[in-house]
Structure 1
Amino acid sequence: MLGGKGLMTTCLIGLLFLAAFMNSVQAQTEALQSSVKTAAQDKMTERKVRVQLKWRHQFQFAGYYAALEKGFYRDAGLDVELLEVENGVVPIDQLMGGAVDFAVADTGALIYRSVGVPIVALASIFQHSPSILMTRGAGDVTDLADLRGRRVMLSGGYMNAELVAMLQAAGLSLEDVELVPDDTSVDALVDGKTDAYNGYLTNEPFGLENRGVDFQVFAPMAYGVDFYGDTLFTTEAKITNNSDLVEDFRAATLRGWSYAVEHPEEIVDLILKKYNSQGKSRAHLMFEARQSIELILPNVVPLGYMNIERWERIAEIFTEQGRLKGPVEMRAFLHPSDDFDRFVDVLYRQRENIGAAVILVIAVLLVLHIASLRIQIRARTAELEVAKKRAEEEARTDALTGLPNRRCFFETASRDIERIKRNDGDMSVLVADIDFFKEVNDTYGHVAGDHVLRKVSEVLKRNVRAGDVAARIGGDEFAFCCPDSGASEAEALAKRLRDQMATQKIDYDGSQILVTLSLGYAQYQPGQSLDELVQNADAALYDAKRNGRNTIGSSQNKVREKAT
């Protein structure tokens, strides 16, 4: 777990990397503008450049052909000549002898650097070396350890360093195998002259497959030995005296490699037309192209990327084999040509801190997201509770008058009547109807009728006790549930409501509307249901209406009292 100090350091590193990246983008833009300007100035005076390849023409050098034929070198003001290897020619020797300006060589260049040869690595094109050991698949060698006491063909000098390291990783030394003379033809393996052959993953497997020869491959990377392949080199003097040329050549070369890996078929056709000194078939070159691109890793790391830690590990292997004569100052040996390469190198070396920072940021974002979700859930739950409560209230309230509606009246009255039954108490129900309400609608309109209903409701609410329930249960019909009230209390309430309403003048649109109420009440009798109680009050109301309106009817004694 990261402590407080480590957490702060990790976050600062993340911020510094972001700032460095933005600076890198700006630097790249400025460099591009400068490159375009330089190319335009130098177009008429191209600089001569000679490049020593490490082998004869094939897809292995596709990026150089692309840069030459697509005009990338010309755009940079360079006149480039590519030189194949001739018998006895060593690329590094050609470079240090001044015969060429740049050379393509293996990681064995470290050995030269360890004895003071001032060579500098500019770009590693192959992120993984294509060098492999091959055996016959039909033989009895199924593992590297089976090569003990067998014949093994290895390239001379430092070129076999990674294969020797692979054998050592498998528990074998050179003394455990029989070394046979190096032969560039895979026929030595096919004809049984050797049990293991040093080949290239990009080349020999194609010939064996076409000949129907069963074989197996042992790659150093599978044994933890991971060398670069085909690195571009120059000299310290060249960088010191002509740094612009070095940077321009490197940038144009990488541009050529970018084109080559994106257009392999076009470059294969170019090789067949102008660079096929080995007479390879198109199928063979396409096989080499596919294998090469997998080793270049263009979609994983920037083309030409070099990591100082990998070079240091390669130096360790050379030292273990007794090949390195002294320490190598990697910062002098490696030459990141621009801020972006330096930035990538820093990113790689700080990958653990960056990983921790990324995990931390993701964790914080996840926590914040979860907290946000919880807040949203709580807020939504509260909204739903309010909406539910509002819906329940609306379902129990008459929208026009604000009084409880029929449903609420019967629910409340049902609870009250059950309580009365248990406690042997009194309870009465009143029902009221506005007299001649239809005439109000016919005379003044339904809007006026709604206004009258609201005003009548206000009168009813003002005149009932706190424990009573006044509800609108129909168009112009109202009901009252009066718990703990006998017939006399119900009759008194009925008279009060009738008299209040008879004296109430309702103003509407310049007119005064007078309305009266007819009421009926009934007292609960033991054993009655709520429906029966309400039916009795309804019957009393109808009796009152038949007796001339503005009247009170009682179900107890059938007495009808007409208002004076």
Structure 2
Amino acid sequence: MLNVTRWLASALLAVVILLLSNSTVAQPEPELALEKVRLQLKWKHQFQFAGFYAAIKQGYYADAGFDVDILPVNFQRSASEVVLSGAAEFGVADSSLVLSRLQGKPVVILAAVFQHSPLVLISKQSSNILSPLELVGKRVMFQRNVDDAVLTAMFTEFGLDDDQYSHMPHSFKDDALLNGEVDVMSGYITDQPYLYIEKNIAINIISPASYGIDFYGDMLFTREDYLKNNKQKVLRFREASLKGWEYAIAHPKEMAEWIFKNLETEKTLAHLLYEAENTVRLIKPQLVELGYFSLNRFGRISDIYKQLGLADTTQDIEGINYLDYYQEQAQHGWLKLLLLALALTLSVAFILWAYNHRLKKQVALRSQALVEARDELGYYLDVVDRYVINSVMNTKGEFTRVSQAFCEASGYTAAELLGKHFDYLAHESSIVMLRDAFNVALVKQGAWSGELLLQHKTEGVFWLMMDLESVVDAKGRLAGLMEISVNISDKKRIEALSSIDPLTSLYNRRGLGDAFNHSIALAKRYNKKFSIIIFDVDYFKRINDSYGHSQGDEVIRAVADIMRDTIREADVPGRWGGEEFVVFCPETDLQGAYFLAEKLRIKISNYSFTDLPKQSCSFGVAEWSTDDSYESLITRADNYLYKAKAKGRNCSEGLTHRTAEII
């Protein structure tokens, strides 16, 4: 009997070894032969593409099996057209790739290099063109529908239609602005201002980021059929490219000098060094993982293109994310691992059974105890799975296990979450805090606790009180992350009810106080700007006296609705009391808040009320300084409000002189 048992155990072990040998995890990679591929740039050779040059210079592409030919801009065709035609395997373009996907063009995004778009509008200081509101009737030069996503979004935000300004195709001549051919031209903030610094010419910068329009800049992409036929090659090319960018960011001076000596660039070495410094600033390598991108941002870009009529409202961007093409492969790998685990389980069970059969009298009681322990453990594991919100992640922050309770809280199934980064669930307002938590748990291998606002699949948002900590293996090496959370959505709803003004559904004074403390904490921690706007309805007492309080309430509600429709998603609106309102503007300087106040003022003064005359408002604007308290900042804005009233009402005060940032 013992010999038979050993023979069967050996046979099962052979099956296990066979499974292991067939696993893709255990297969060694064949030696790579260099393959010729082409990378199409969106512009001429300069530091903007330093990471790709570094991947060649340092041999990262060669190590990955590629001989890469980097192609400068093709003025007859965009980078996406070149790649889609098959004239290049990879390309670099901006968020207008979303429009291409909406129009049915099979582009697939592999990585976002610039976390913020460097594209801005430039005007001469003497023109007094300081904001999008002042582009009406002006000649504006930019590439329409080619790398213009962030400009299109800004125009949409300000309600600027195509017929309100004269669009001029981009000539790519810097003197077009200087000699008066155009009033405004687009350019990259990373390098364009240097040309005017050299000529000692003061300029104004109109940056979409100042108005909450924050799209990605340069993104690495390929076409769908190439990815499907070359999945491993595409991953190797992406990894080598990002490795090149890591090197370029760490050695900007070295790469600027290399570009100057080895490439046909139109820039001087001093110009390349200026561009290098500003490029690293936009990539944000200390805050965001290189190559990271969010589908939520792509969704907002998609909505803008649909509103402009550039894409059919029934179209979507499914397939734009390269990770979508690797799910089947990942599932196949999990299936093999599952079979392996099953084989191991069966082998262990069989050996235990055989041993138990031979010694059943001695171990009968022990076996019964094991069965009872297993049942009890299974019961507790089932309870934990059903009632404890819990997940396990790998060292990249991607889900490897989620409990049933976590799925019920988020609205997603386990299959939808596995392999996704925790960022996938995060509400925009929680992104910074979540990355801070991951930094504590991953980089410092510590523990983090706090409240996070997450996005439910179908029902808006939900709140978790989360405990997040690192998981280490027996050798003390980081193995991943684990979180245990409590759903505090009901608690947050109760808090919100006590912080909301019932007439307008805006924050009341209590809610504004909490929002202020949260915003200031973030501004201090990340050295960000912060401004506030305070305003009230002019001669509001006359409305109540002449038309009654119910009509006065209608005015208050209408003003609140206009606020909600006008401000950015990040701004915090509130009713200070009576006819007085407040707007908190995170990451906004005094000029940006002033222009928002003017936008609100114009919309309110143009609004037609039913059975009431048109109304106007007076505005006070103030920017937070590090020695400000809540009360001092409100008082300063309030003083400017009274200055506006003293000037005759229906105006804004707080910006002492209307100047733009001078480069």
TM-score grouping bracket, smaller chain normalisation: 0.5 to 0.7
1:41 lines up with 2:41 in the alignment:
no
Instruction: Give 2:289's aligned residue.
Output: 302
Q: How many residues align?
A: 328
Q: 1:121 to 1:342 in 2, by over 3 A?
A: farther
1:265 lines up with 2:274 in the alignment:
no
Q: 1:90 to 1:143 in 2, by over 3 A?
A: closer
Q: Distance in 1 between matches of 2:47 and 2:26?
A: 31
Instruction: Give 2:421's aligned residue.
Output: 346
Q: Distance in 1 between matches of 2:425 and 2:220?
A: 26
Q: 1:246 aligns with which of 217, 234, 238?
A: 234
Q: Distance in 1 between matches of 2:59 and 2:131?
A: 48
Instruction: Give 1:368's aligned residue.
Output: none
Q: Distance in 2 between matches of 1:101 and 1:341?
A: 30
Q: 1:333 aligns with which of 320, 323, 332?
A: 320
**Deviation of 1:329 (Å):** 4.4
Partner SS for 2:270: helix
Q: Distance in 2 between matches of 1:34 and 1:203?
A: 48
Instruction: Give 2:274's aligned residue.
Output: 287
Q: C-alpha root-mean-square deviation of aligned residues, in Å?
A: 2.8
Q: 1:55 aligns with which of 24, 34, 43?
A: 43
Q: Distance in 2 between matches of 1:173 and 1:294?
A: 32
Q: 1:145 aligns with which of 127, 133, 152?
A: 133
Instruction: Give 1:118's aligned residue.
Output: 106
1:168 lines up with 2:160 in the alignment:
no
Cα deviations by residue, 1:95-148 (Å, 9 ceiling, x for unpaired): 122121111112212222223222211011111111111111122323332222
Q: Distance in 2 between matches of 1:181 and 1:158?
A: 11
Q: Distance in 2 between matches of 1:341 and 1:147?
A: 44
Aligned counterparts, 1:6-45, within 5 A: 38=29, 41-42=31-32, 45=33
Q: 1:316 aligns with which of 297, 303, 307?
A: 303
Q: 1:237 to 1:144 in 2, by over 3 A?
A: closer
Q: Distance in 2 between matches of 1:257 and 1:244?
A: 20
**Deviation of 1:89 (Å):** 2.7
Instruction: Give 1:358's aligned residue.
Output: 450
Instruction: Give 1:464's aligned residue.
Output: none
**Deviation of 1:236 (Å):** 1.9
CA contact (8 A) 2:130 2:205 kept: no
CA contact (8 A) 1:126 1:296 kept: yes
Q: Distance in 2 between matches of 1:216 and 1:345?
A: 42
Partner SS for 2:77: coil
Q: Distance in 2 between matches of 1:52 and 1:219?
A: 27
Amino acid at match of 2:309: G
CA contact (8 A) 2:259 2:265 kept: no
Q: Distance in 2 between matches of 1:328 and 1:286?
A: 43
Q: 1:318 to 1:361 in 2, by over 3 A?
A: closer
Partner SS for 1:213: coil
Q: Distance in 2 between matches of 1:271 and 1:345?
A: 37
Instruction: Give 2:371's aligned residue.
Output: none
1:76 lines up with 2:64 in the alignment:
yes
Q: What are the ranges of 5 or more consecutive residues in structure 1 without an aligned counterpart?
A: 1-29, 364-564
Q: 1:97 to 1:150 in 2, by over 3 A?
A: closer
Instruction: Give 1:426's aligned residue.
Output: none
Instruction: Give 2:198's aligned residue.
Output: 210
Q: 1:361 to 1:90 in 2, by over 3 A?
A: closer
**Deviation of 1:330 (Å):** 4.1
CA contact (8 A) 2:149 2:301 kept: no
Partner SS for 2:312: coil
Aligned-residue sequence identity (percent) comes to: 34
**Deviation of 1:200 (Å):** 1.1
Partner SS for 2:76: coil
Q: Distance in 2 between matches of 1:203 and 1:34?
A: 48
Amino acid at match of 2:295: I
**Deviation of 1:243 (Å):** 0.8
Amino acid at match of 2:303: E
Q: What are the ranges of 5 or more consecutive residues in structure 2 without an aligned counterpart?
A: 1-22, 331-393, 400-418, 435-448, 452-464, 469-663
Amino acid at match of 1:205: P
**Deviation of 1:295 (Å):** 1.2
Please report the TM-score for the alignment, with normalisation by the length of structure 1: 0.54
**Deviation of 1:331 (Å):** 4.6
Partner SS for 2:68: strand
Q: 1:155 to 1:361 in 2, by over 3 A?
A: closer
Aligned counterparts, 1:343-492, within 5 A: 346-352=421-427, 358-359=450-451, 360=465
Q: 1:162 to 1:242 in 2, by over 3 A?
A: same
Amino acid at match of 1:350: L
Cα deviations by residue, 1:165-208 (Å, 9 ceiling, x for unpaired): 21332342222212234221221111122211111112210101
CA contact (8 A) 1:158 1:323 kept: no
1:196 lines up with 2:196 in the alignment:
no
Amino acid at match of 1:346: H
**Deviation of 1:162 (Å):** 2.2
CA contact (8 A) 1:110 1:328 kept: no
Instruction: Give 1:471's aligned residue.
Output: none
Q: Distance in 2 between matches of 1:82 and 1:152?
A: 31
Q: Distance in 2 between matches of 1:89 and 1:81?
A: 18
